[in-house]
Structure 1
Amino acid sequence: MGALLGGAACLIAGIREKILILESVGVGMFGAFIGGDFVASILSGGKTNDTVFSMSSLGMAIGGAVVALGLLRLMRRAVGPQHVTKGPRRRD
């Protein structure tokens, strides 16, 4: 689910660089894992759901992926664009 959300975020944002696509997909997967597994088990009082599919876990996975992708976007704004040509500053 996180990989799909990360890919969809790249399509919506118009990202074409492969490294940024991989980064978004990875962050989406991480967020989905954290939301769907970790946060869902905390909110359920530590009870794990061993069923194959759960709507609450799916919702938490989607929420976690969206939050993680939002944080990635904020970090990219704070740091600035990444360029291959970016190197040490020249002294004038």
Structure 2
Amino acid sequence: MAEQAREPSMYRHYTTQKIRDMHADATSAYHRLNTGAAERVFVDQSGERIEYTAAKVPELRRYCEELSSELSARQNPRAVRRGPIRPLF
């Protein structure tokens, strides 16, 4: 079975350390939002205003998972993410 080529990541221009920092920030925000300790509005370095509500918790979780996946891919570039197993009958 041939290995699938990994499509270019949207994070390819970031260093691994930058992605680690982004992941730590996102995970921390996710935790604070879930525990009710978070500010609901963030202003990032470029001045963009981001407001998190309970409805955006799944979106923030997906973002954390994307960053985690990118870090895993960088640590083991030969690993190939495969889709679900689909049995043939």
Same fold (TM over 0.5): no
Interval of TM-score (by shorter of Structure 1 and Structure 2): 0.3 to 0.5
In the superposition, the TM-score normalised over structure 1's length comes to 0.31
Q: Which has the higher helix share?
A: 1
Q: Which has the higher strand share?
A: 2
In the superposition, the TM-score normalised over structure 2's length comes to 0.32
